[in-house]
């Protein structure tokens, strides 16, 4: 991981807004909107810190383009069964790492709580997003989101995205 | 002390729910099964490639360290300092000349022998351990360890255990060799904590009936349907089991007839990116789905081209961890490794065809928690009476085989119980 770089308030505001919408779209069960925050050519994966630190490539979830993200969401909506719950993401500030070839790279710490239909909340996952974002027609889009979960021991199961 | 279990039937087609909630039963399982004569899966040799490598694991609720000594021999012993009970190895894995407890720096060899302790002779003639303190008899409890094609098993009671090959049977030995037919490389791990008794997971793995019903992804996208050719195979004692299916051995019409409720979806739902479903046949038997379970704690799993092992780690009477190790073959090229990793979307805690298991088990645990009056699970799909191999998958009889052997090891068999 590189050290932090400084960026203009405008860039920080826009990309902070992108990540806020990322979290809120999942938390409000607008998964179709969440998918639309990604570029057509994108990469979303959930890995664990345990594997990353051992240099192991295993993924818990991996979509290497936007169609695979759409398939995940379609499958959740129509096919898969999972624990009925609400999600709530709490994000930390963006820590910018680089800006190369018009790609902004930054890290964001997250915690994700889940709440059952009967109102009981638990910490579901804590970790970091390693994000790459670009601008297309002045609109920020996600090129890559790597969720590096400290919480390698998944409570119950992992269905809705982190 | 042996608990009294009122089995309503001698073929284990009724199983009292309280067996998933009783603390006394749980403690006895740890003693009589996991620390008893059963062979438990520990880890893979590929995880201990070098001399002096070590790795921590669990056998039931007992912490265990598995090592490869400097001569290359494998060992396993309880990961607990014989002095005051601290965990000797705290890391998940590593390589060291000796294993040292942090508390008072007692030292152990890779074979699990106590080899040294600070101030044993005292200082300036004062203090220290008694002169007759015996290092050897104060070493941690060892397991007998044996590797089969690189899959490492261990037992705490070798004097009572069958030889490993006999324990696994022709079926078990053959299936381990099928998966580990050449050198492998580890792709990584996933862990899942399911809030249900470990035996609910053991049952789930022996229940081929649920697969295409609970995991609707299987049917919807044609990865696996009960209309495909397949079945269940067991060892002679019916303690190990394999649910399996052969790729592309049914038609869309067969499936539509069998799955009336989901038939409408079969035509409508299509994955936009089909590569998730692509299967490269890589075994002579042509199976695209194979899930052999080895009593008490192991599963080998093939879903298309994702390959792995799972280890069940009981965590108290009402929870267990499923520890999954994904692997590739050492001679796989980069494209094949990528294909296996993409196939991993199907399995594990977030798997398209496995995520539901966590939920199904948890809702059983919740709904049966208060049960004390003898209510039982009904296990009759596939028939009553003797348990045998089947060439269809409309059965859950391997679950009865599991309970039969569980009852034998626990010393609580039903009068005239089937084997």
* Residue B142 confidence class, pLDDT cut points 50, 70, 90: very high
Average pLDDT over every residue of A81-105: 96
C-beta atoms of B321 and A152 within 8 A:
no
Q: Decide which of B90, B124, B148 is a domain's last residue.
A: B148
Per the domain annotation, does B154 fall within a domain?
A: no
Assess whether B350 and B245 both reside in one domain.
yes
Assess whether B185 and B142 both reside in one domain.
no
pLDDT digits (tens, 9 = 90+) for B16-42: 999 999 999 999 999 999 999 999 999
Which pLDDT score is estimated for B268?
Answer: 67
- How close, in Å, is residue B338 to chain A by CA atoms? 9
Q: How many CB pairs under 8 A join A and B?
A: 120
B218 in contact with A, Cβ within 8 Å: no
B92 in contact with A, Cβ within 8 Å: yes
Q: Decide which of B104, B131, B148 is a domain's last residue.
A: B148
Q: What percent of chain B has pLDDT over 90?
A: 79
Q: Where are the domains of chain A?
A: 9-149
Q: Is the pLDDT of residue A101 over 80?
A: yes
A50 in contact with B, Cβ within 8 Å: yes
Distance CA B66, CA B88 (A): 12
Assess whether B349 and B207 both reside in one domain.
yes
* Residue B189 confidence class, pLDDT cut points 50, 70, 90: very high
- Residue B182: burial class (beta carbons within 10 Å; 0-12, 13-18, 19+): exposed
C-beta atoms of B359 and A46 within 8 A:
no
Q: Could you list the residue range(s) of the whole structural domain that residue B119 is in?
A: 40-148
Q: Is the pLDDT of residue B145 over 80?
A: yes
Q: How many other C-beta atoms lie within 10 A of the C-beta of residue B261?
A: 9
Which pLDDT score is estimated for B267?
Answer: 66
- How close, in Å, is residue A162 to chain B by CA atoms? 11
Read off φ and ψ for residue B363, nearest 5 degrees: -75, -25
A1 in contact with B, Cβ within 8 Å: no
Q: What percent of chain B has pLDDT over 70?
A: 98
Q: Decide which of B148, B163, B198 is a domain's last residue.
A: B148
Which range is least confidently modeled, B133-142, B246-255, B258-267, B351-360? B258-267
Assess whether B338 and B391 both reside in one domain.
yes
Average pLDDT over every residue of B266-294: 88
Which pLDDT score is estimated for B302?
Answer: 95
- How close, in Å, is residue B305 to chain A by CA atoms? 14
Assess whether B261 and B397 both reside in one domain.
yes
* Residue A13 confidence class, pLDDT cut points 50, 70, 90: very high
Per the domain annotation, does B93 fall within a domain?
A: yes
Strands A61-63 and A85-91: unpaired
A45 in contact with B, Cβ within 8 Å: no
Q: Which of A70, A81, A153 sits opposite B191 (nearest CB)?
A: A153
Q: Is the pLDDT of residue A2 over 70?
A: no
Residue to mutate among A51, A64, A74, A79, with most B CBs inside 10 A, is: A79
What's chain A's average pLDDT? 96
* Tally of domains within chain B: 2
Assess whether B243 and B357 both reside in one domain.
yes
Which pLDDT score is estimated for B27?
Answer: 97
Measuring CA to CA, which residue among A30, A10, A20, A8 is closest to residue A131? A20
Question: Which residue is closest to B350 within chain A, CA to CA?
Answer: A158
Per the domain annotation, does B176 fall within a domain?
A: no
pLDDT digits (tens, 9 = 90+) for B293-312: 999 999 999 999 999 999 99
The SS3 call for residue B325 is strand
* Residue B251 confidence class, pLDDT cut points 50, 70, 90: confident
Which pLDDT score is estimated for A44?
Answer: 98
A123 in contact with B, Cβ within 8 Å: no
C-beta atoms of A83 and B359 within 8 A:
yes
pLDDT digits (tens, 9 = 90+) for B202-232: 999 999 888 888 888 888 887 777 788 888 9
CATH number of A9-149: 3.10.450.50
Assess whether B142 and B185 both reside in one domain.
no
pTM: 0.95
Q: Is the pLDDT of residue B264 over 70?
A: no
pLDDT digits (tens, 9 = 90+) for B304-352: 999 999 999 999 999 999 999 999 999 999 999 999 999 999 998 999 8
Two structure tokens written together for B11: 């073929």
- How close, in Å, is residue A155 to chain B by CA atoms? 5
Query: Which residues of chain B make contact with A153, given a CB cutoff of 8 A?
Result: 191-193, 321
Per the domain annotation, does B79 fall within a domain?
A: yes
Q: Is the pLDDT of residue A8 over 80?
A: yes
Predicted interface score ipTM higher than 0.90: yes
Which pLDDT score is estimated for B234?
Answer: 94
Question: Which residue is closest to A151 within chain B, CA to CA?
Answer: B191
Distances (CA, A) of B95 to B24, B43, B50, B89: 38, 16, 8, 11
Average pLDDT over every residue of B407-415: 97
Contacts of B76 (CB under 8 A, 6+ apart): B42, B64, B65, B66, B67, B112, B142, B143, B145, B152, B154
What's chain B's average pLDDT? 93
């Amino acid at each position: 991981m590189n050290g932090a770089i400084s960026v203009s308030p405008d860039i920080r505001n826009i990309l902070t807004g992108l990540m806020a919408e990322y979290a809120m779209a999942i938390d409000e069960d607008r998964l179709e909107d969440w998918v639309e925050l990604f570029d057509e050519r994108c990469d979303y994966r959930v890995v664990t810190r345990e594997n990353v630190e051992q240099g192991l490539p295993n993924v818990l979830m991996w979509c290497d383009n936007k169609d695979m993200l759409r398939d995940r969401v379609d499958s959740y909506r129509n096919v898969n069964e999972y624990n009925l719950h609400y999600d709530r993401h709490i994000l930390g500030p963006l820590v910018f790492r680089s800006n190369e070839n018009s790609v902004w790279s930054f890290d964001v710490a997250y915690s994700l709580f889940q709440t059952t239909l009967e109102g009981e909340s638990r910490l579901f996952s804590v970790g970091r997003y390693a994000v790459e974002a670009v601008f297309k027609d002045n609109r920020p889009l996600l090129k890559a989101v790597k969720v590096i979960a400290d919480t390698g021991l998944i409570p119950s199961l992992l269905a809705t995205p982190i | 002390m042996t608990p009294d279990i009122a089995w309503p039937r001698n073929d284990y087609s009724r199983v009292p729910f309280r067996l998933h909630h009783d603390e006394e039963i749980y403690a006895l399982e740890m003693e009589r099964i996991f620390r008893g004569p059963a062979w438990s899966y520990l880890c893979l040799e590929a995880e201990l490639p070098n001399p002096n490598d070590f790795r921590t694991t669990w056998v039931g609720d007992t912490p265990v360290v598995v090592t490869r000594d400097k001569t290359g021999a494998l060992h396993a012993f309880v990961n607990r300092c014989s002095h005051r009970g601290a965990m000797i190895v705290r890391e998940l894995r590593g390589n060291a000349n000796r294993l040292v407890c942090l508390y008072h720096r007692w030292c152990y060899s890779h074979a699990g022998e106590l080899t040294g302790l600070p101030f044993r002779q005292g200082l300036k003639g004062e203090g220290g351990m008694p002169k007759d303190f015996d290092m050897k008899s104060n070493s941690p409890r060892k397991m007998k360890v044996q590797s089969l094609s690189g899959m490492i098993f261990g037992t705490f009671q070798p004097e009572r255990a069958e030889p490993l090959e006999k324990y696994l049977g022709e079926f078990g030995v053959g299936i381990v060799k099928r998966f580990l037919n050449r050198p492998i490389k580890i792709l990584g791990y996933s862990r899942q904590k399911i809030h249900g008794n470990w035996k609910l997971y053991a049952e789930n793995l022996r229940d081929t009936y649920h697969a295409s019903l609970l995991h609707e992804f299987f049917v919807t996208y044609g990865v696996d349907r009960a209309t495909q050719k397949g079945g269940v195979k067991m060892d002679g004692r019916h303690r190990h089991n394999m649910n399996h299916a052969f790729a592309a051995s049914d038609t869309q019409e067969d499936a539509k007839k069998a799955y009336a409720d989901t038939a409408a979806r079969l035509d409508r739902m299509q994955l936009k990116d089909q590569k998730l479903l692509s299967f490269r046949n890589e075994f002579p038997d042509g199976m695209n789905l194979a899930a052999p379970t080895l009593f008490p704690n192991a599963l080998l799993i093939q879903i298309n081209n994702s390959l792995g092992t799972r280890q069940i780690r009981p965590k108290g009477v009402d929870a267990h961890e499923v520890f999954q190790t994904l692997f590739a073959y050492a001679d796989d090229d980069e494209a094949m490794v990528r294909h296996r990793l993409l196939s991993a979307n199907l399995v594990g805690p977030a798997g398209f065809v496995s995520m539901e298991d966590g939920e199904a088990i948890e809702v059983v645990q919740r709904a049966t928690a208060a049960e004390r009056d003898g209510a039982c699970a009904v296990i009759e799909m596939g028939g009553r009476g003797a348990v045998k191999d089947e060439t269809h998958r409309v059965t859950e009889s391997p679950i009865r085989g599991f309970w039969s052997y569980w009852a034998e090891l626990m010393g609580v068999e039903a009068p005239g119980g089937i084997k």
